[in-house]
């Protein structure tokens, strides 16, 4: 795909995000779009948000579970970039009117204390470079109509990033079994689903190592202080006005989030 | 019991003999409600109690109980809407790391559970999760090998209860722990077959908390005129969906804080 088309689709996604409306799948608009094209479109879309005043604060890893990879027809995860406008604190009420067609995922977030430079990064390096982990919610959202995504669509759309909320209980991955830590997700006081760290690439640290190596090949920095959302450990939860979600990571703690307002769809 | 007996004593003995034959010869039979459509949950427990009486008369030793169908996933998988219980005998126990024969089973499946060992007798009705935790000596990880004797694993609640909740074999192991040192609600579990992850979950999948399932079990025992004696080994119900196994399969269940339980299956 030539640079002009990359910019065109990147701009289209940026405008869709700003106006909170959707566009048809890119794989329909440009059937020969490759995964590399999609990451270049993502770069353009994110660059537009940075030009408009946001900063890059971290990364998210998506498509980390086997069911999602099977659905998208891929054998590896994908990633997107977290920007300053996506950040909410636990205790905030999330305004749904800033989103299009949101769904929540319960995850473990990593905060780095040292740069991770791939290729050649292992899960052991990830633990060594991790300042702390926290339970978190990622609210994924799609600028693609009806979530009708193939892998190229979600990658171009910044891995379907919406907003995210970090919990307040920090854990040391040397004291917590992040692979076997259970994940319990409740919606409005009732059990919604359960999971475990291993649902993410065998261990969340494996997903972070994959990202470090992938970014290393693309020449994208992975810096101390960045937040990394390591991938969903729960079922996707649709959210609406008044909903409250709590996720609890066994041996660590909880993240609680409330929603208000109406999303675009 | 919420429903009354519909079967005569003769029918109960007849169905018990049918279930016992299927269990001991490892052959599948049609679900009992095909012949007795009016069969109730109380009828199911009457058949199960007769089966227990017969096994104990043959010298089997009662070692504990199991709760079954305790997660939404299991209830959905099996098309039922209430949990159930079954009894466990010494003949069903297999040691950790054992080679378990499938030749004497119909269509075995494995599932991961938190097991409780009791230090005090518990008696229903009105038993609560707090009562259970106070009466628990320790918890440990377990794998239950269930094996419905009904063709195609297709059954309803009265039939599965009569078949002793599909109980077949069980393996306790891993690491024994005091309950007060754990958050029993959020323990993560990974089930691996031949080195590949095949099922995952966290312990809240069992009625919100495994001790809730044990309390429910004690209250069902009260309906049957039984108590849960000190020393009982009690399995609280599958955290994961049940996974089919065959000869040659190697299974490891890994539990947060509780270690792992492994076994392999042979012909």
pLDDT in tens, A93-133: 999 999 999 999 999 999 999 999 999 999 999 999 999 99
Residue B4 pLDDT greater than 90, yes or no: no
Q: Which residues of A touch B202 (CB under 8 A)?
A: 182-184, 194-196, 250
Nearest chain B CA: its distance from A106 CA (Å): 13
Q: Which residues of B touch A250 (CB under 8 A)?
A: 183, 185-188, 202, 256-257
d(CA B70, CA A10): 49
| φ, ψ for residue A252, nearest 5 deg | -120, -75
Residue B2 pLDDT greater than 60, yes or no: no
Scanning A120-139 for CB atoms below 8 A from B yields none
- Sequence-distant (6+) residues with CB within 8 A of B31 are B150, B151, B154, B155, B156, B159
Q: Is A246 on the interface with B (CB under 8 A)?
A: no
**Domain B9-266: which CATH class?**
alpha beta
B190, A180: Cβ pair inside 8 Å?
Answer: yes
The minimal CB distance from A250 to the residues B183, B190, B205 is found for: B183
pLDDT band at B101 (very low <50, low <70, confident <90, very high): very high
Cβ pairs bridging A and B (under 8 Å): 74
- Sequence-distant (6+) residues with CB within 8 A of B185 are A184, A248, A250, B202, B203, B204, B208, B209
Residue A88 forms beta bridges with which residues? A165
> B24 and B89 in contact (C-beta within 8 Å)?
no
B189, A191: Cβ pair inside 8 Å?
Answer: no
Q: B256, B259, B260: which to substitute to probe chain A, counting the most A Cβ within 10 Å? A: B256
Residue B224 pLDDT greater than 80, yes or no: yes
Q: Which residues of B touch A194 (CB under 8 A)?
A: 201-205, 239
Q: What is the average pLDDT score of chain B?
A: 95
Residues A200-244 pLDDT 10s: 999 999 999 999 999 999 888 889 999 999 999 988 999 999 999
pLDDT band at B3 (very low <50, low <70, confident <90, very high): low
> A234 and A192 in contact (C-beta within 8 Å)?
yes
Q: Which residues of B touch A179 (CB under 8 A)?
A: 190
Count of CB atoms within 10 A of residue B13's CB? 15
Q: Which residues of B touch A202 (CB under 8 A)?
A: 197
Query: Residues B185, B189, A68, CA angle at the centre, nearest 5°?
Result: 110
Q: Could you report the predicted ipTM of this complex, rounded to two decimals?
A: 0.90
Scanning A67-96 for CB atoms below 8 A from B yields none
Scanning A168-207 for CB atoms below 8 A from B yields 177, 179-184, 191, 194-199, 202
Q: A180, A190, A202, A231: which to substitute to probe chain B, counting the most B Cβ within 10 Å? A: A180
- Sequence-distant (6+) residues with CB within 8 A of A149 are A25, A72, A142, A157, A160
Q: At what angle do helices A3-19 and A35-51 cross, to 10 degrees?
A: 50
A195, B208: Cβ pair inside 8 Å?
Answer: no
Q: Domains of chain A, with CATH numbers?
A: 56-260 (3.90.850.10)
B204, A191: Cβ pair inside 8 Å?
Answer: yes
């Amino acid at each position: 795909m030539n640079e002009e088309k990359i910019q065109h689709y990147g701009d289209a996604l940026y405008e869709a995000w700003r106006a909170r409306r959707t566009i048809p799948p890119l794989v329909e608009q440009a059937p020969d779009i490759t995964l590399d094209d999609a990451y270049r479109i993502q770069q353009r879309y994110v660059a537009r948000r940075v030009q408009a005043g946001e900063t890059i604060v971290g990364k998210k890893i998506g498509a980390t579970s086997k069911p999602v990879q099977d659905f998208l027809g891929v054998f590896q995860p994908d990633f997107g970039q977290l920007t300053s406008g996506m950040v909410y604190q636990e205790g905030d009420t999330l305004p749904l009117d800033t989103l299009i067609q949101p769904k929540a995922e319960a995850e473990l977030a990593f905060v780095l204390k040292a740069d991770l430079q791939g290729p050649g990064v292992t899960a052991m390096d990830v633990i060594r470079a991790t300042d702390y982990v926290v339970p978190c919610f990622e609210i994924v959202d799609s600028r693609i109509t009806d979530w009708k995504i193939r892998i190229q669509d979600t990658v171009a759309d910044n891995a379907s990033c919406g907003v995210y909320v970090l919990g307040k209980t920090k854990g040391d991955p040397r004291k917590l079994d992040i692979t076997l830590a259970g994940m319990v997700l409740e919606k409005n006081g009732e059990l919604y689903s359960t999971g475990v760290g291993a649902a993410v690439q065998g261990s969340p640290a494996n997903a972070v190592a994959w990202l470090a190596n992938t970014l290393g090949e693309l020449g994208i920095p992975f810096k101390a202080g960045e937040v990394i959302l390591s991938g969903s450990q729960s079922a996707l939860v649709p959210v609406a006005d008044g909903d409250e979600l709590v996720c609890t990571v066994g041996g660590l703690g909880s993240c609680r989030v409330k929603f208000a307002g109406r999303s675009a769809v | 019991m919420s429903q009354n007996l519909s079967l005569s004593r003769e029918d109960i003995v007849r169905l018990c003999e049918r279930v016992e034959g299927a269990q001991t010869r490892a052959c599948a039979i049609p679900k009992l409600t095909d012949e007795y459509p009016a069969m109730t949950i109380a009828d199911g427990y009457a058949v199960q109690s007769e089966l227990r009486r017969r096994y104990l008369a043959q010298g089997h030793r009662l070692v504990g109980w199991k709760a079954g169908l305790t997660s939404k996933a299991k209830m959905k998988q099996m098309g039922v809407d209430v949990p159930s219980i079954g009894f466990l005998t010494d003949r069903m126990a297999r040691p950790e790391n054992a080679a378990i024969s499938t030749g004497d089973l119909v269509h075995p499946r494995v599932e991961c559970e938190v097991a409780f060992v009791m230090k005090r007798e518990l008696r229903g009705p009105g038993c609560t999760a707090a009562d259970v935790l106070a009466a628990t000596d320790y918890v440990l990880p377990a794998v239950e090998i269930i094996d419905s004797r009904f063709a195609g694993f297709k059954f309803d609640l009265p039939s599965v209860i009569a078949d002793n909740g599909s109980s077949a074999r069980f393996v306790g192991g891993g690491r024994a722990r005091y309950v007060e040192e754990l958050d029993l609600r959020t323990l993560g579990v990974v089930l691996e077959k031949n080195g590949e992850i095949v099922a995952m979950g966290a312990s809240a999948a069992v009625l919100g908390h495994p001790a809730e399932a044990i309390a429910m079990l004690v209250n069902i025992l009260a309906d049957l005129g039984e108590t849960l004696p000190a020393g009982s080994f009690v399995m609280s119900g599958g955290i994961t969906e049940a996974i089919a196994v065959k000869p040659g399969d190697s299974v490891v269940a890994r539990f947060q804080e509780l270690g792992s339980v492994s076994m392999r299956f042979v012909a």
